[in-house]
Amino acid sequence: QPVVGILGGGQLARMLALAAAPLGVNCLAVDGSADACAGQVAPLVVADWSDRAALEAFAHQVDVVTFDFENVPADTAHWLAERVAVHPAPEALAVAQDRLAEKTLFRACGLPTTEFMAVDTREQLDQALAAIGAPAILKTRRLGYDGKGQFRLATAGDADAAWAALGAQAATLGLILEAFVPFERELSIIAVRGRDGEFRTWPLTGNWHVDGVLSMSLAPAPSLGPLQQRASEHARALAERLGYVGVFALELFVKDGELLGNEMAPRVHNSGHWTIEGAHASQFENHVRAVLGLPLGDTGVRGTAAMFNWIGELPDATPVLCGVDAHWHDYGKQARPGRKVGHATVCAPDASTLATRLRNIAQALGREAQVEPVLRALADV
């Protein structure tokens, strides 16, 4: 039986392992922590990225290596790639690890982005603010996730506060200043490319964030017009440029009806969790297929679907367990503020049925505010 090695043992590795099982594929995850939640459903190697002896043994046990965690050090990924097939390739991972390289690539591939400039010193922050204007967001180039490593500047007068918050990171992680985008909506497209170059996408997903963390997703995002095809073409251009193999997510803003690229995630993505029940083949199944060189599965949808993210702690499961075509996912993680501990997906044949099902579950949980933007989007259909 083929074995897929996964660097990182979080909920993404866990869901990859669960999707791999029916294909007769086993997974082996590596994580620095013995409590990593993938370890509850698949064997886990407990090792740091610098533990070459453990990684050497791991490389011999697996047929291909992939990622649950995009910030695996580039030298570790390259070192592994000398021993075993690694998908996506370390070069593609490196681009997605650096917001500056990523946005530069987007533009080179014809995907517009907001204005941005690298910031290495306090003086360059002033120069960037003069060029870009405010409001703006200062971000670390590397290692940011869930809105961490970001500072929002309402005016140029916030430069001192922004530097106090992130200046110490300039030398190690690098910084980038981005013009704030007053977007109409936020979308993502999940795409998959096989070893043979076959390329497929799922329908665009609408996303809502709270405090920089994904809160709700809706798929297919309503009222897209030509955006679906444009987003697919952008994703394909990026994948081909990178020689990408596997699933990735492209996060997009819609401003004045046009797409702007925000970032890409070189892995399965939170905004694609709805594909487990809402599509014929999920992002997890197709990632396993792609990295093993198997034919890709059907990315068509079964209807419409919405996802609630559970951040910090799980709510009562009962309303979801009792809901029609509603699906509960508990990652088996300890509750902790800001941590992604689970999600729920609700599916329906049409928008109005989905709205009714979502409203019922949200009311039972006292989470009307969380679901409200999704209900508004569904009402516009």
List residues forming the annotated binding site for ATP: 99, 139, 144-150, 178-181, 186, 209, 262-263
> What is the C-alpha separation between 168 and 32, in angstroms, rounded?
26
β-pair partners for 91: none
Q: List the interface residues with ligand ATP, window 6-25 (CB under 6 A).
A: none
Measured CA distances, 71 to 39, 76, 173, 281 (Å): 20, 10, 12, 27
Reference 19, options 44, 46, 1, 41; nearest CA is 41
Element (H, E) at 74: helix 74-81
CB of 137 to ligand ATP, least distance (A): 5
Instruction: Find the binder of ligand ATP among 112, 147, 167, 315 (CB under 6 A).
Output: 147
Residue 102 binding ligand ATP, by CB under 6 A: no
Residue 263 binding ligand ATP, by CB under 6 A: yes
Stretch that binds ligand ATP, among 79-87, 139-147, 191-199, 346-354 (CB under 6 A): 139-147
Residue 209 binding ligand ATP, by CB under 6 A: yes
Report the partner that residue 212 touches, choosing among ligand ATP, Mg ion, none (CB closer than 5 to 8 A by kind): ligand ATP
Cβ-contact 103, 137 below 8 angstroms: no
Report the partner that residue 154 touches, choosing among ligand ATP, Mg ion, none (CB closer than 5 to 8 A by kind): none
Residue 262 binding ligand ATP, by CB under 6 A: yes
Compute the residue count for the chain.
Answer: 381
Q: List the interface residues with ligand ATP, window 170-189 (CB under 6 A).
A: 178, 180-181, 186
Cβ-contact 132, 177 below 8 angstroms: yes
Which residue of the chain is nearest ligand ATP when measured via CB?
Answer: 181
> What is the C-alpha separation between 299 and 193, in angstroms, rounded?
12
Residue 212 binding ligand ATP, by CB under 6 A: yes
Element (H, E) at 368: helix 368-379
Cβ-contact 47, 54 below 8 angstroms: yes
**Residues interacting with Mg ion, by CB under 5 A?**
251, 263
**Residues interacting with ligand ATP, by CB under 6 A?**
114, 137, 144-148, 178, 180-181, 186, 209, 212, 251, 262-263
